């Protein structure tokens, strides 16, 4: 590769690396993305909490009562663990698709899913540890 091309590549990459943290901050503000990860250089910008809780509900009709998942299959449990680990850093950008697919296999009669993830945050207004939540309503793809 000629030097000029290498130079353009390096300068372009540096420009991207210089701009990415600004995008990262925007994602954190909009989607609650953790500043700790993904190359935004926001390590230590916020306290890091480990505790995350999740409740999952499903129902078969839009008018039906929500039924909480209390005894997931091993596949659904694995998918939930993976989703929570992603959610710890990606927050509202974490995709529940694999979890939804696993629960769809467990409960073929369900057409809707409600996933509620709760996680601690340090509230800037009060200085106290508060609880934030991310609630997702998902329509399960039907094959009926």
Partner 1 sequence: MHDTPGARIAALVDGDEAEVRARRLRAFEQAFVLIVVAEYWLRALPKWGMLGWHYDVLLGVSTVAGVAILAAPWLRRAGFALLAAAHLVLLWSEFPSSGNHAYLELYICLLAILLRRDDPDEALLELRALRWLAVIILFWSGVQKLAHGHWVNGEYLIFSLGSETYRTLLGWTLPADELARIAALSGQVGEGPYRVVGAPPLLVLANATWLAEIALAPALVWRRTRALALPLALLLLAGIEVVAREVFFGLVFASLLLLFAHGDRQSTARWLVAAALVVLALSRLGVLPEVTYY
Enumerate binding residues for partner 1 (CB under 8 A).
1, 3, 6-11, 13-15, 17-18, 21, 24-25, 28-29, 35-47, 49, 85-86, 88-90, 120, 122-124, 126-131
Q: Is 136 exposed, middle or buried (0-12, 13-18, 19+ CB in 10 A)?
A: middle
Q: Smallest distance, Å, CB 6 to partner 1?
A: 6
Q: Smallest distance, Å, CB 60 to partner 1?
A: 34
Distance CA 42, CA 92 (A): 18
Distances (CA, A) of 35 to 38, 110, 121, 138: 8, 36, 13, 27
In the complex with partner 1, the residue whose CB is nearer, 117 or 140, is 117
In the complex with partner 1, the residue whose CB is nearer, 7 or 61, is 7
Distance CA 55, CA 118 (A): 9
Q: Smallest distance, Å, CB 63 to partner 1?
A: 34
Q: Smallest distance, Å, CB 59 to partner 1?
A: 29
* Closest of 98, 66, 65 to residue 83, by C-alpha: 98
């Amino acid at each position: 590769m000629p030097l000029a091309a290498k130079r353009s590549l390096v300068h372009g990459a540096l420009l991207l690396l210089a701009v990415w943290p600004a995008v990262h901050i925007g994602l954190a503000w909009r989607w609650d993305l953790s500043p700790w990860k993904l190359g935004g250089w926001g390590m230590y910008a916020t306290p890091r909490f480990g505790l995350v809780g999740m409740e999952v509900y499903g129902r078969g009709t839009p008018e039906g009562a929500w039924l909480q998942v209390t005894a997931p299959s091993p596949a659904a449990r694995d998918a939930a663990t993976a989703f929570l680990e992603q959610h710890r850093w990606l927050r509202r950008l974490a995709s529940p698709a694999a979890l939804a697919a696993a629960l769809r296999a467990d409960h073929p009669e369900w057409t809707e899913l409600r996933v509620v993830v709760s996680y601690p945050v340090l509230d800037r207004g009060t200085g106290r540890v508060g609880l934030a939540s991310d609630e997702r309503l998902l329509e399960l793809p039907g094959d009926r």
